[in-house]
A and B are shown apart, each in its own frame.
Chain A
Amino acid sequence: MDCILVVNNGGLAVLGMEVPRYERIWLWFGIITLVIFLVVTGYMAFTMELHPANGHEKTVPPEQVLATAPFDKPGVYPLGNNQYDVVLVAQVFRFLPATLTIPAGATVHFRVTSPDVVHGIAIPGTNVNMMVLPGHITDFTYSFKKAGEYLMLCNEYCGVGHHIMMAKVLVQ
């Protein structure tokens, strides 16, 4: 079997197949571009700790979640040092609480679950975009820089009332 990749005399052969010169240039351009993208996203992920929403904690059975701490008392809780816990429940077809009041510039730790079906939380105009799965707690950390009134909406189909599922976020 030929070597997988052979570089010789300025040529390139993959598994014994010649790659024409212009194609080689094009593919190197493509591969290098992708590598740059991966380095940038990788740096953001592993050095700057910028990840999309995640969460490894599990809950009690979903239908018991509303009776179990912390989701029996959803709301905004100060942790000191300008950090806040936002305990949220996404359920058909509303968010609890229906209004969040958050200080501008504070670091906010969302902790969200659902007692019924999959929901999504998005706040247009921000990078807040997370999935909420029954049985799991979604963690997402964010800082609202600009004061104002934001719309929070459900962006994962959850049933017939999906398009009226909304809440208000007041950043002051």
Chain B
Amino acid sequence: MEEAKNAGFGSATVGTSHFHFQIGDKRLIQAHLGFAYFALLVGALAGVLQTLQRTGVINLPSSLGYYQLLTLHGVGLALVFTTLFIVGFLFSGVAKTTGGELSRRERAWGWSGYVLMVVGSLLAFLSIGMNDASVLYTFYAPLKASPLFYFGLAGLVLGSWCSSITIFSAFLRWRRAHPGESSPLFVYMSVATMIMWDICTLGVVIEVAFLLIPWSLGWVDRVDVSLSRTLFWYFGHALVYFWLLPAYIYWYINIPRLVKGEIFSNSLPRLTFILFILYSIPVGLHHQFNEPGIDSFWKFVQTVLTYFVVIPSFMTAFALLATFELAGRSLGGKGLLGWVTKLPYKDVRFLAPFLGILLFVPAGIGGIINASYQLNQVVHNTLWVTGHFHLTLASSVVLTFFGISYMLIPVLTGRKLTRAANRLGIIQALIWVVGMSFMSGAMHAVGLLGEPRRISYTTYGDSSVAQLWIPYRQAMAIGGGILFIGMVLFLLLVFYLWFLAPKSEMPNEYPIGEVNPEQQKPPYILDRWAIWIGVAVGLIVLAYTVPFAQMFIHPAPGALPARTW
């Protein structure tokens, strides 16, 4: 396709369009992205320092603790960057597909959420920076951080609840205007994501508000460690789906437009997201397989439920391949695999997430291994697990977020995705994949050799076991260094596209895939959220009642606060 005149490379794949975000929505979305990139920088700086320290390449100055950095890395990336970026991205698609803009009230909720999330994050960062919260992003009791830390995280979560009100409001606004119709797919999937988020965050909010904050303020002496951990992991597994689902949204909805194809099905993806609501929460015990105080039987029940959550990912894999194949064939691809060559690999908005999709194969397989009950003992708390989530979150999801950024920033700012920026973006994505292959690959291997995760540099007294780990540590250091270069390049490109790229005469199109009009209409029951929330709650009650009840009927003595750093 010819580049539209004076509109930059970005117009070549999907063209330009008259749609542009209203100024109020633009500011709201940009605010979220901006703080997200700040958290990304903070987390990445911590990460590169960590990887060089724990592989023995550098020594940190005494003012910086390894575990302090690790806490910053986890909180900054896994909690702050992700939440802010996801909300910004969902707002953008919801605004576009519910008539082109959010309402004033929806924006007000959005801003309230933003302020709470930013203030909360800054409080958390501050307490970590003062070394009062070196408790890692899982903040397991009875390690006791400063109350500022817990208040900060509570603010982050409460803010995200406000953000979810924006999305629910937009959905209801659209439904009032289109009674009886199935909602646009982007809105539908955003609503599903936030329903799952709101239900799962209840666990961590209860933990923080009722167990940890009173205890950290000294109002209460002891904390029930098992109860606090179980509440956390009730939240903690669905958290990873909160990261994944927005990436799925981009794959399901935006990418089909980029490949000049159609959304393969308007119906089954909705079922996919319903299945995620149902099966991503009553599974948290699979993070607690090796713990005392929880019945083995219920750990196994949650293993079964965990396997169920693999099914919507199978469905997604099929839908994506079908979309690619049909698009490739319609563009002239012949024979069994000719369609593969017809995909827009030269467009970073497609290529980066596509690489993420490829990496999701080993990522998902690793996840099934982790969930396999007895097999978990081989990998628990080893670097294998770290390797795993650097594939799922830090590759599949983050590469997709890179692609979203290259798409969204030009649309928001009216600047061009220039040919040069696109090419550098491709290089940046490839650097990321190379770095991650070294680092995550080495982590998987050395994890099987027993090297633990979340641990500073050690040779365990020059033990023979630790000697085996040395070559893998070298690979991890190389990989981590390459990744940091990739991150710096990404942030420089973001800065360029946001402030410096030449203005375009017409904004790039915000690509939203179309559904084939002859497609079967989705059954309205999928839009009746109350039913599915009910089923989700039923499954949570089934999976968690006995484990929680046992903690109240036969409670363990609580633990006193510990500050061991």
Please name all residues of chain A whose beta carbon is closer than 8 Å to the beta carbon of B140 when the two chains form the complex: 117-118, 156-157
User: Which residue of chain A is the closest to B226 with respect to CB atoms?
Assistant: A133
Q: Give Cα A50–Cα B136 distance, bound, in whole angstroms.
A: 31
Q: Which residues of B contact A132 (CB under 8 A)?
A: 292
Contact A158 B381 (CB under 8 A): no
A135 touching B226 by the CB < 8 A rule?
yes
Interface size on B, residues (CB 8 A): 80
Q: Are B314 and A134 in contact (CB under 8 A)?
A: no
A45 partner, pick from B291, B373, B378, beta carbons under 8 A: B373
Stretch at the interface among A29-37, A73-81, A100-108: A29-37
- Residues 262-305 of B at the A interface (beta carbon under 8 Å): 265, 267-268, 271, 288-296, 299-300, 303-304
Complex Cα distance A37/B454, Å? 30
Rounded to whole Å, the gap between the CB of A131 and the closest CB of chain B is: 4
Question: Please, which residue of chain A has its CB at the minimum distance from the CB of B314?
Answer: A30
A16 to B65, CA, bound (A): 57
Which of B356-415 touch A at CB < 8 Å?
A: 368, 372-378, 380-382
On whether the beta carbons of B291 and A133 are closer than 8 Å, the reply is yes
Q: Does A163 count as interface, using CB distance less than 8 angstroms?
A: yes
B471-491 interface bits toward A, Cβ cutoff 8 Å, 1 = contact, 0 = none: 000000000000000000000
Enumerate chain A residues within 8 angstroms of B224, measured Cβ to Cβ.
Answer: 135
Chain B 493-525 interface residues, beta-carbon cutoff 8 Å to A: 520, 522-523, 525
* Of B85-93, B115-123, B555-563, the one touching chain A: B555-563
Interface pick from B171-179, B420-428, B458-466: B458-466
| Residues on the B chain within 8 Å of A118, using CB | 140-143, 225, 229
Q: Kindly state the separation between the CA atoms of A157 and B145 in the bound complex, as whole angstroms.
A: 14
- Please, how many angstroms separate the alpha-carbon atoms of A16 and B450 in the complex? 49
Contact of B557 among A60, A158, A166 (CB under 8 A): A60
CB–CB A117/B268 < 8 A: no
For residue A163, give the distance in angstroms from its CB to the closest CB of chain B: 4
- Choose from B292, B296, B380, B560 the contact partner of A62 (Cβ within 8 Å): B560
- Report yes or no: B368 in contact with A15, Cβ–Cβ below 8 A: no
Please, how many residues of chain A have a CB less than 8 angstroms from a CB on the other chain? 71
A90 to B303 Cα, complex, angstroms: 28
B26 at the interface (CB under 8 A from A): no
Of B142, B319, B458, B525, which one neighbours A116 at CB under 8 angstroms? B142
Closest chain B CB from A156 CB (angstroms) = 6
Q: When the two chains form their complex, are residues A19 and B268 in contact, meaning their CB atoms are under 8 A apart?
A: yes
Number of A-B contacts (CB under 8 A): 224
Does B463 lie within 8 Å of A38, measured CB to CB?
no
B564–A41 touching, CB < 8 Å: no
Given the known interface contacts A63-B560, A117-B143, the answer about A129 and B311 at a Cβ–Cβ threshold of 8 Å is no
Residue ID in chain B nearest A154 by CB atoms: B452
Are A27 and B314 in contact (CB-based, < 8 A)? yes
Given the interface pairs A18-B520, A160-B564, the reply to whether A136 lies near B455 with Cβ below 8 Å is no
Q: B564 to chain A: which residues have CB within 8 Å? A: 92, 116-117, 158-161
Q: A61-B557, A155-B382, A163-B457 are in contact. Are A38 and B292 (CB under 8 A)?
A: no
A62 B373 Cβ-Cβ under 8 A: no
Nearest-CB residue, chain B, relative to A157: B454
- Decide if A38 touches B303 in the complex (CB within 8 Å): yes
A37-B292 CB under 8 A given contacts A45-B374, A58-B554: no
> In the bound complex, how far is the Cα of B134 from the Cα of A53, in angstroms?
27
* Pair A122/B225 contact, Cβ less than 8 Å: no
Q: Is the CB of B452 within 8 A of A135?
A: no
Tell me if B226 and A136 are in contact (CB < 8 A): yes
A103-151: which residues lie under 8 A (CB-CB) from chain B? 116-118, 120, 122, 124-125, 127-139, 151
A6 in the interface (beta carbon within 8 A): no
In the complex, the chain B residue whose C-beta lies closest to that of A31 is B311
Closest Cβ of chain B to A126, distance in Å, is: 9
Among A18, A31, A118, A166: residue with most chain B CB under 10 A = A118
Q: Are B557 and A58 neighbours in the complex by a CB distance under 8 Å? A: yes
Q: How far is A151 from B452 in the complex, measured between Cα atoms in Å?
A: 12
Most chain A CB within 10 A, of B65, B288, B314, B452, is at B452
Docked-complex contact A134 and B380, CB < 8 angstroms: no
**Across the interface, which residues of B come within 8 angstroms of A37, CB to CB?**
307, 368, 372
Judging by beta carbons under 8 Å apart, are B315 and A23 in contact? Answer: yes
A124 touches B314 (CB 8 A): no
Establish whether residues A16 and B523, one from each chain, have CB atoms under 8 Å apart when the complex forms. Answer: yes
Residue interface bits B525-565, CB-to-A below 8 A is 1, else 0: 11000000000000000000000000000111111101011
Of A2, A52, A158, the residue contacting B373 (CB under 8 A) is: A52
Residues of B within 8 A of A151 (CB): 460, 463, 465-466
Interface residues of A in 4-54 (CB under 8 A from B): 14-20, 22-23, 26-27, 30-31, 34, 37-38, 41-42, 44-46, 50-54
Given contacts A37-B372, A52-B376, A155-B453, contact A124 B67 (CB under 8 A): no
Q: How near does chain A come to B244, taking the closest CB pair, in angstroms?
A: 17
**Residue B318 at the chain A interface, CB threshold 8 Å:** yes
- What is the chain B residue whose CB lies nearest that of A14? B271
* Bound Cα distance A53, B565 (Å): 28
What are the nearest 9 A-B pairs in CB distance? Answer: A124-B450, A159-B564, A55-B292, A135-B556, A155-B381, A163-B458, A136-B292, A155-B452, A30-B314
A residues neighboring B (CB under 8 Å): 1-2, 14-20, 22-23, 26-27, 30-31, 34, 37-38, 41-42, 44-46, 50-56, 58-63, 92, 116-118, 120, 122, 124-125, 127-139, 151, 153-164, 166
11 contacts between A and B (CB under 8 A): A17-B267, A17-B522, A20-B322, A53-B290, A54-B291, A56-B295, A92-B564, A117-B562, A127-B378, A138-B292, A164-B460
13 additional A-B pairs beyond A17-B271, A155-B455, beta carbons within 8 Å, are A17-B267, A27-B311, A41-B374, A52-B290, A52-B376, A62-B559, A116-B559, A116-B562, A118-B229, A133-B292, A136-B293, A157-B143, A160-B564
Chain B residues at the A interface, C-beta cutoff of 8 Å: 65, 67, 134, 136, 140-143, 222, 224-226, 229, 265, 267-268, 271, 288-296, 299-300, 303-304, 307, 310-311, 314-315, 317-319, 322, 368, 372-378, 380-382, 449-458, 460-461, 463, 465-466, 520, 522-523, 525-526, 554-560, 562, 564-565
